[in-house]
A and B are shown apart, each in its own frame.
Chain A
Amino acid sequence: MKSLMKYLKGYEKECILSPLFKMLEATFELFVPLVMAAIIDQGIANGDKSYIIKMCFVLITLGVVGLTCSLTAQYFAAKAAVGFSAKLRHALFQHIGTLSFSEIDRLGTSTLITRMTSDVNQLQNGVNLVLRLLLRSPFVVLGAMIMAFTIDIKSAFVFVVVIPVLFLVVFAIMYITIPMYRKVQQRLDHILKITRENLTGVRVIRAFNNENNEKKEFDAGNESLTDMQLHVGRISAVMNPLSYCVINAGAVALIYSGALRVDAGYISQGQVVALVNYMSQILVEVIKLANLIITVTKAFASAGRVRTVFDTKSSVTESKSPCSGEENSEYVVEFRNVSLKYHETGEEAISHIDFRVKRGQTVGIIGGTGCGKSSVVHLIPRFYDATEGEVIVNGVNVKDWDTEKLRDAVGIVLQKAVLFKGSIRDNIRWGKKDATDEEIYRALDISQSREFVENKENKLDEMIEQEGRNLSGGQRQRLTIARAVVKEPQILILDDSASALDFATDARLRRSLKKMDKSTTVFIVSQRTSSIQHADMIIVLDDGKIAMIGTHEELLERCNEYREIHNSQIN
């Protein structure tokens, strides 16, 4: 929590004023029983009507002042809480932007999204409520006790006993039930999972006639959830009656001691009424405090989760004296004995990869699923850092490159074709911010997407929905290629990014890529030999290692793995 406090900076004034005004409000509230006691003891006892009316004005004034204070406090609290969460979200968003692919893989995008949304909201609620109640409730409780002491010290000892007992009751019950509610949540999650499975897996479940089993499993989960709910319910149901007992025991004790004190002439009848009133004010505040604690516990849990995101530092660190490589070096990409592990303890995804690519060459990378094809090309724009060995672009180790410049020089089309909400033009301009329509159309030509874009009603201004839902898989893929091509990158990487294209389109795409700028080096990752057979060099990967490098003909002759792949596709 502490480390997140810095996002309250700039709201120090609000953070101090809000609780302060809350306390002021509470103070005025505490005077009410005293005024009432005065009405009884002086107004009624002496039959003084004007005094009573005067006192009632005092009561109304107290109410108005209390209202003003409270509204001020609420405003400051809301302002601080909302400002806090806005800053926190900004910082989180920015921080996530600095993480490398390894951290994103490890944390998972869905986790990151919930951290940014529901966890931050939970924290906002926490801050808001803490500012409003954390001081107020204890203050009222203590204040009521102090007021009681000013009335009569001996009677006030009842408060000294009742308040701790009340706290004990409320917090003991919370202490027992909070972990139980967590269990309730777990059991709820369990039946949620079963329900979701039965929707996504409905075909398989029905094909295997597993409906009854699923029903049994759901019923068991449902039953155990209900059992737990009833169990927790039984315990928390004790809270209200028990605190009611405690408060009334206090009231009874006050009446008894009050009777003794009045009889002895120390206090008046009105003061006894005031003491009883203070007792009932306490109950309300303790219950509020209990609710506050629940919210704060939740906020703390959220804070912990948010902090783990902040604590995750990017493993790809910027070099102290970044540079960009020489464009005239002979080899554009060099892998020197490169190995990569995604997890410290895990197996190597690729090991001892060694190859050199000359400027303007086309390189094919082929191999089975999970053989490390993507891992190899992801090292070029430094999405990950190699665990061992060196990746060299334009004669300079990628670790010494200015990352931004490096990624500018590399155009990559990822396996998953992702587009963003916005027009087609906006999307293509991701590659080059100031691309003219002419440049965009050239990119569309190369990626074989001009035809379908021109068939759209609004051409380049056609709006793409989130994730590109309103386009077919093949169209999406071609636009992602256009987005990378428009950059006119020195190195263009197609990571299995023609899978949704039919053979004819795929072939045309490759032909037009060939016609691009002669100095562009192209990497094509594929499962299909037909996509890469015309490449200048083909790297065959097997289980993270290079099986052989060569041209199509050489490999057909000498590389078993390659031949197997090729034969399985051609027959």
Chain B
Amino acid sequence: MSQNSSTATLRTVLQYTKKYNVYIILSLVLAAVTVAFTLYIPILTGDAVDYIIDKGLVNFDAIFSIIKKIIVLVFITAAAQWLMNICNNRITYGVVRDIRQKAFEKLEILPLKYIDSHSHGQIVSKIIADADTFADGLLMGFTQLFTGVLTIFGTLIFMLTVNAKITLVVVIITPVSLVVASFIAKSTYSMFRLQSETRGEQTALINEMIGNQKVVKAFGHEAEALKQFDEINERLRKCSLKAIFFSSTTNPSTRFVNSLVYTGVGITGALIAISGGISVGQLSCFLSYANQYTKPFNEISGVVTELQNALACAAGLFELIEEKPQIPDHEDAVMLDAAKGNIELKDVYFSYVPKKKLIENFNLRVGSGKRVAIVGPTGCGKSTVINLLMRFYDVDSGKISVDGIDIREVLRSSLRSSYGMVLQETWLKEGTIRENLMMGKKDATDEEIMDAAKASHAHSFIMRLKDGYDTYITENGGSLSQGQKQLLCIARVMLCLPPMLILDEATSSIDTRTELKIQSAFATMMKGRTSFIVAHRLSTIKEADIILVMKDGNIVEQGKHEELLRLNGFYANLYNSQFEPV
């Protein structure tokens, strides 16, 4: 990350911490208190040791007063440390909560374009895992960096007041540990990268072979798969060994440097003590400083990586939060109430990617209550039409209007609730069946729900489930079959029955007999409602008032069944292929 962008990120982080300024100041003060006292206590201990000289040469009164002081200070330090921890918790967890909330809020108003074109896994890991990494980094970085720096300076000052020469020894030797640590970190970096690459390779193979274990078994491919796996496994073992071993040398090495510092303090201290420069108590205090002084140095290199990592995570999150939202509803957008369903597409141009032209100069007028069938081979872009009608995407130019009003001047919510949508890709929320059905009508009564379920032939299978309408279904339908899920999606629309419909006709997921039942339900649903149907069945196509034939994202032909057959073009071809004799 460049210097500029990380300062920018840091500035944004500060925006979020503003709310917690009181806690931050409190935390800083408490940290200062903790550090000062933690450093002062060894001096007191040293003083006490100096009063314990030899047999008969012990000043008990002085020792008692020092002990009293120590006890009081220890309590204050502990209390300060505890309060500081609590403040830090409040800051970090609070900031993360706020950031997550903001990110999720943005998620709900992001244009579909963003969501469709970004990996869902990545967005989820931004909001969940990255936010956590950021919190940990912030918490660790904030506490350790601040107390670390304070400790280093505090120790230096305390040591200088006692003896300059020994201080010099400490100052000179300590950075060695920093150098050693960063050297090890640098040289292990490439080993870790190799390890994570190899691990990635192995995970990919595991995903492939275990994920498709049924095919592996069907072809008796187990032994080959294992051979392939073992080859990667052995490579992983070797590079993991290197990475783990070399990175684990950091601790012993820095500990060794510390012992050098300790020895350095010991030798210079003892020599100075002989000449009476310092007392034994002061030396023992120095020795404990030597330990405390080196500790933050060892930690700082870790903290810096942690902070960098945290900032990188934060940057990704902020990018999401600052992403341009969908165009908000027009200020005087009208409420579409009880739409009649006269839909007009006028001179519509649309494409997902500017370079790749898709829909061009598309005109269509659908009268109230008419049926539009959209046909074409898989992947021909039938969903594009749905995207435009529902205003998941906005047209590039031209306009779409409902009852003569441009849909961009209508409240989004009222436009969408005027449509009932059943997609082939069934999606259900984790929750009870009842909750799922009530999605479009929050105040539906039990009776209404049951009527809707009966009308869509879902009632009987729902009743066969363990808890009926209160059966809890897990993410993505869990144990329900694809067909059952589809039925629930239909019931969901059946319950609110909006004036216009968008139906993606089920093909493979529902068997034809169940589909027959659904068709009858669809038929009642469609009566008097303007409907767009992604059609696979000939009967639907024949009964449609207008057929849109799509190919490669374009509308290539439009008209009635007979008209299109007479054209003898793409549609005629598609139609005839179904009945080619075998």
Convert A537-549 into 0s and 1s, putting 1 for each residue whose CB lies closer than 8 angstroms to a CB of B.
Answer: 0000000000000
A301 to B483, CA, bound (A): 37
Knowing A74-B248, A112-B210, A265-B56, say if A82 contacts B240 (CB, 8 Å): yes
Convert B43-56 into 0s and 1s, putting 1 for each residue whose CB lies closer than 8 angstroms to a CB of A.
Answer: 00100110111111
Q: Which A residues lie within 8 Å of B240 (CB)?
A: 82, 85, 124
- The 5 listed contacts between A and B (C-beta, < 8 Å) are A56-B263, A207-B416, A368-B513, A407-B220, A473-B378
Number of interface residues of B (CB under 8 A): 144
Knowing A52-B270, A369-B482, A407-B218, say if A499 contacts B67 (CB, 8 Å): no
| Interface pair B226/A93, CB less than 8 Å apart | yes
| Interface pair B77/A244, CB less than 8 Å apart | yes
Nearest-neighbour CB distance to chain B for A523, whole angstroms, equals 14
Partner of A40, one of B85, B214, B270: B270
- Tell whether A268 is near chain B: CB-to-CB under 8 Å: yes
| Interface pair B577/A244, CB less than 8 Å apart | no
Instruction: Tell me the number of A-to-B contacts counted with CB atoms below 8 Å.
Output: 402
Q: Which B residues lie within 8 Å of A110 (CB)?
A: 211
| Interface pair A466/B207, CB less than 8 Å apart | yes
If over half of A's interface residues share one DSSP class (helix, strand or loop), that class is named, otherwise mixed; here it is helix
Number of interface residues of A (CB under 8 A): 156
Nearest-neighbour CB distance to chain A for B555, whole angstroms, equals 19
Knowing A207-B390, A241-B79, say if A273 contacts B210 (CB, 8 Å): no
- Tell whether B397 is near chain A: CB-to-CB under 8 Å: no
Please give 17 more A-B residue pairs, beta carbons under 8 A apart, in addition to A93-B229, A527-B511.
Answer: A78-B241, A86-B237, A93-B226, A117-B203, A192-B124, A210-B439, A222-B97, A230-B89, A248-B41, A259-B51, A265-B54, A269-B53, A277-B288, A466-B207, A496-B508, A530-B578, A565-B513
A238 to B104, CA, bound (A): 33
Q: Which A residues lie within 8 Å of B90 (CB)?
A: 230
Contact residues, B250-293 vs A (CB, 8 A): 251-253, 255-256, 259-260, 262-263, 266-267, 270-271, 273-274, 280, 283-284, 287-288, 291
Knowing A273-B284, A280-B288, A571-B538, say if A204 contacts B427 (CB, 8 Å): yes
Q: Give the segment of A2-10, A319-327, A329-337, A412-420 that binds chain B.
A: A412-420
Knowing A56-B266, A195-B123, say if A109 contacts B429 (CB, 8 Å): no
What is the chain A residue whose CB lies nearest that of B89? Answer: A233
- Tell whether A161 is near chain B: CB-to-CB under 8 Å: no
- Tell whether B494 is near chain A: CB-to-CB under 8 Å: no
What is the chain B residue whose CB lies nearest that of A316? Answer: B217
| Interface pair B430/A276, CB less than 8 Å apart | no
Partner of A70, one of B52, B252, B260: B252
| Interface pair B233/A200, CB less than 8 Å apart | no
Contact residues, B216-236 vs A (CB, 8 A): 216-222, 225-226, 229-230, 233-234, 236
Partner of B85, one of A56, A101, A237, A474: A237
A561 to B516, CA, bound (A): 12
Knowing A104-B213, A262-B58, say if A199 contacts B266 (CB, 8 Å): no
What is the chain B residue whose CB lies nearest that of A202? Answer: B115
Knowing A191-B100, A255-B49, A270-B280, say if A502 contacts B377 (CB, 8 Å): yes
| Interface pair A75/B245, CB less than 8 Å apart | yes
- Tell whether A472 is near chain B: CB-to-CB under 8 Å: yes
A527 to B511, CA, bound (A): 7
Nearest-neighbour CB distance to chain B for A426, whole angstroms, equals 10
What is the chain A residue whose CB lies nearest that of B218? Answer: A412
Nearest-neighbour CB distance to chain B for A137, whole angstroms, equals 13
Partner of B252, one of A49, A67, A198, A237: A67
Partner of B263, one of A59, A75, A99: A59
Nearest-neighbour CB distance to chain B for A221, whole angstroms, equals 10
| Interface pair A222/B430, CB less than 8 Å apart | no
